[in-house]
């Protein structure tokens, strides 16, 4: 079948003949433009948006073809056309693939295509969507190296750094000349004239905001989207837990109770007291807000992570450390110490299969195994 140039991007077909069977003329137009945007993003930015690196032409073509199958599968199940495919739809497709007679490496390629779709939704459309598949397929022909996670020593350093970052000495504990230097520092940090720096600004500099954010993230293995969604009513300091309602959880599937260290609970108490004094939090449910009075998103939380990691002197140049390194380390060490069931509950994995990929990430167990061979 010959396709018009308007129905292609760099030779990659946007609306297949099979897809046309599901679409009326108006739907065909919207689906084509939907696919065009996705295809152009894959080619230009898909592999690494931060470095403006796209997928190769062959990878993009293959993933676009596989996603066309995904869309048609969901249209057939729903009995109607839609552009908005969800993580539940993706899990449904993965369960369907499990029944198909095909190599696991092929199923893995279909899964990678879906990962690309949700990555595009996050990066290009600013959608809060993260997919942790219930069923994970692997490609035996490739080696997989888990993304770098925080070691136990890294986690200790992050906690300590979060308590030290940006702190200033007590106003009355410094000499007038030292105080003048600290005011200069605060004026730059707060982006306000030096003469307008007040005692309140001095106190704000020693805020518990970042400290509480990092401590809670380390305990709960919070996803960036959960940092964004975190609300005050999640916090139960009396029992030392977070209570995440089903409708506010990352996948809207069930209520979660997440344990916190006693130290974290005390820090949260201090932050909640401090938060009450901040006008920008008046009538707001958000547990944490940026200086621009917005909820934290993946980018603003990544900035916080990198600031604290730099304060902790972690190697950000030669290690693949990201906010997800916090979550990965939490899952890894809880799985190692308490088993998959506890790690799955603490990190809010519906399926223990999701947690299994962290169980083998820690080299501690591997070293113990090697030491016990002889």
Per-residue model confidence as pLDDT tens digits over 13-42: 999 999 999 999 999 999 999 999 999 999
HSE (side-chain half, CA atoms, 13 Å) at 370: 5
Residue 265 falls within a domain, yes or no?
Answer: yes
Same domain, 103 and 131: yes
What pLDDT score does 1 carry? 53
HSE (side-chain half, CA atoms, 13 Å) at 355: 23
DSSP 56: P
Same domain, 78 and 156: no
Same domain, 220 and 363: yes
Between CA 220 and CA 258 the distance in angstroms is 6
Q: CB–CB of 301/227 below 8 Å?
A: yes
* Confidence band for 131, pLDDT divided at 50, 70 and 90: confident
Residue 47 falls within a domain, yes or no?
Answer: yes
Instruction: Please say if the pLDDT value at position 164 is more than 80.
Output: yes
Same domain, 101 and 232: no
Same domain, 317 and 268: yes
Packing angle of the helix pair 209-220, 152-164 (nearest 10 deg)? 160
Same domain, 159 and 122: no
* Confidence band for 368, pLDDT divided at 50, 70 and 90: low
Between CA 198 and CA 167 the distance in angstroms is 16
What pLDDT score does 176 carry? 82
Which pTM value belongs to this model? Answer: 0.62
* Confidence band for 250, pLDDT divided at 50, 70 and 90: low
Q: Give the structural domain span for 214.
A: 152-167+206-367
Percent of the chain with pLDDT over 70: 88
Last residue of a domain, one of 108, 142, 176: 142
Residue 287: which CATH number? 1.10.443.10
What pLDDT score does 253 carry? 63
Same domain, 306 and 275: yes
Same domain, 156 and 95: no
Q: What is the dihedral of CA 120, 123, 128, 129, to 10 degrees?
A: 30
- The helix (H) or strand (E) run that includes residue 270 is helix 262-275
Same domain, 104 and 221: no
- Mean pLDDT estimate for the chain: 86
Residue 17 falls within a domain, yes or no?
Answer: yes
User: CA 175 → CA 193, 201, 307, distances in Å?
Assistant: 21, 18, 28
Instruction: Please say if the pLDDT value at position 121 is more than 50.
Output: yes
Between CA 75 and CA 23 the distance in angstroms is 10
The whole-angstrom distance between residue 83's C-alpha and the CA centroid of its chain comes to 23
Same domain, 76 and 158: no
Burial of residue 331 (CB within 10 Å: 0-12, 13-18, 19+) is buried
Same domain, 72 and 10: yes
Between CA 131 and CA 113 the distance in angstroms is 12
What pLDDT score does 371 carry? 52
Residue 296 falls within a domain, yes or no?
Answer: yes
CA angle 293, 294, 297 (to 5 degrees): 150
Between CA 249 and CA 132 the distance in angstroms is 13
Residue 106 falls within a domain, yes or no?
Answer: yes
Between CA 57 and CA 62 the distance in angstroms is 9
- Count of structural domains, the chain: 2
Same domain, 101 and 160: no
User: Which of 16-30, 113-127, 161-175 has the least mean pLDDT?
Assistant: 161-175
Residue 174 falls within a domain, yes or no?
Answer: no
How confident is the model over 308-359, as pLDDT tens digits? 999 999 998 888 898 989 998 998 888 888 887 888 888 887 665 566 666 5
Provide the sign of the torsion angle of the four alpha carbons 13, 14, 16, 20, taken in this order: negative
Q: What is the dihedral of CA 342, 343, 347, 350, to 10 degrees?
A: -70
Residue 260 falls within a domain, yes or no?
Answer: yes
Residue 123 falls within a domain, yes or no?
Answer: yes
R_g of the chain, CA atoms, integer Å: 24
């Amino acid at each position: 079948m010959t396709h018009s140039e308007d129905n292609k991007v760099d030779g990659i077909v946007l609306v297949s003949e099979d897809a046309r069977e599901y679409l009326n003329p108006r739907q065909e137009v919207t689906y084509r433009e939907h696919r065009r945007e996705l295809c152009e993003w894959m080619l230009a930015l898909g592999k690494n948006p931060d470095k403006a690196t796209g997928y190769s032409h062959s990878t993009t073509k293959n993933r676009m073809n596989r996603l066309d199958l995904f869309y048609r599968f969901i249209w057939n199940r729903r009995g109607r056309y839609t552009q908005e495919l969800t993580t539940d739809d993706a899990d449904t497709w993965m369960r369907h693939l499990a029944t198909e007679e095909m190599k696991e490496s092929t199923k893995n390629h279909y899964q990678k295509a879906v990962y690309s779709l949700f990555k595009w939704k996050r990066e290009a459309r600013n959608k809060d969507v993260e997919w942790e598949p219930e069923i994970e397929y692997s490609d035996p022909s490739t080696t997989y190296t888990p993304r770098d996670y925080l070691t136990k020593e890294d986690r200790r350093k992050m906690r300590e750094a979060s308590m030290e970052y940006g702190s200033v000495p007590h106003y009355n504990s410094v000499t007038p000349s030292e105080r003048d230097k600290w005011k200069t520092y605060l004026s730059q940090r707060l982006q306000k004239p030096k003469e307008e720096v007040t005692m309140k600004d001095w106190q704000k500099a020693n805020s518990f905001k970042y400290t509480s954010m990092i401590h809670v993230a380390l305990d709960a293995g919070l996803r960036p989207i959960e940092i964004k969604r975190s609300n005050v009513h999640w916090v139960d300091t009396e029992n030392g837990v977070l209570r995440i309602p089903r409708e506010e959880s990352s996948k809207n599937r069930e209520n979660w109770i997440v344990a916190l260290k006693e130290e974290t609970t005390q820090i949260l108490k201090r932050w909640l007291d401090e938060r009450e004094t901040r006008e920008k939090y008046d009538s707001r449910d958000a547990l944490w807000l940026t200086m621009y009075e917005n909820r934290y998103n993946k980018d603003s939380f990544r900035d916080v992570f990198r600031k604290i990691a730099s304060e902790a002197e972690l190697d950000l140049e030669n290690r693949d450390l990201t906010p997800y390194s916090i979550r990965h380390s939490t899952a890894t060490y809880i799985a190692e110490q308490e088993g998959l069931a506890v790690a799955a509950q603490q990190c809010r994995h519906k399926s223990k299969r999701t947690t299994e990929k962290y169980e083998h990430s820690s080299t501690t167990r591997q070293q113990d195994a090697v030491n016990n061979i002889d």
